[in-house]
Amino acid sequence: MTIILKNKVTLHFDDFIFKCSIGKKGFARCKFEGDKKTPIGTFSLGNLFYRNDRNPKPLTKLKCVPIKKNMGWCDDIRSKKYYNKQIKIKKDLRYEKLYRKDYKYDFLIPIYYNTKNTKIGRGSAIFIHLTKKYEPTAGCITLQKKDLLILLKLINKNTKIRITYSR
């Protein structure tokens, strides 16, 4: 089964339709680090990362990984070794912190964009994560918590996401 994002505000899976938000500057076929665009294409999904100090382990077929204070996702274009990978935080690398004070990463699923044959500077840390007000993102896809919890019950490790653009 495939999650389908057809436009800027609607995510479909099977018979379910969820309101969502995407990158502030829309979609991109050719994405670059910091462009605030959501990549177009079909991608695999990673494990579910979650804050177990705030939430119980959700019902899902995905592997669940508790987020620890030292976890990050490297967005440092100087690092060929770690770029666009989950890392243990290091002072000499730029990264997206996964253990946040706000709620946005209480649940997150990495979208495996630019992970095989990684191209430095072509975008990193693209996730499905939480929102409350559907604010535009830096390139991620966001859902409200109740909707993400429903989606988690429906998907598995073989689920893909197809991001397309139609008006």
pLDDT in tens for each of the 167 residues of the chain?
789 998 889 999 999 999 999 999 999 999 999 999 999 999 999 999 999 999 999 999 999 999 999 999 999 999 999 999 999 998 899 999 999 999 999 999 999 999 999 999 999 999 999 999 999 999 999 999 999 999 999 999 999 999 997 65
Residues 6+ apart with CB under 8 A from 113: 31, 39, 41, 43, 123, 126
CB 71 within 8 A of CB 99: yes
| Helix/strand number for the chain, H first, E second | 1, 15
Phi, psi angle pair for 81, to nearest 5°: -70, -40
CATH (residue range 2-163): 2.40.440.10
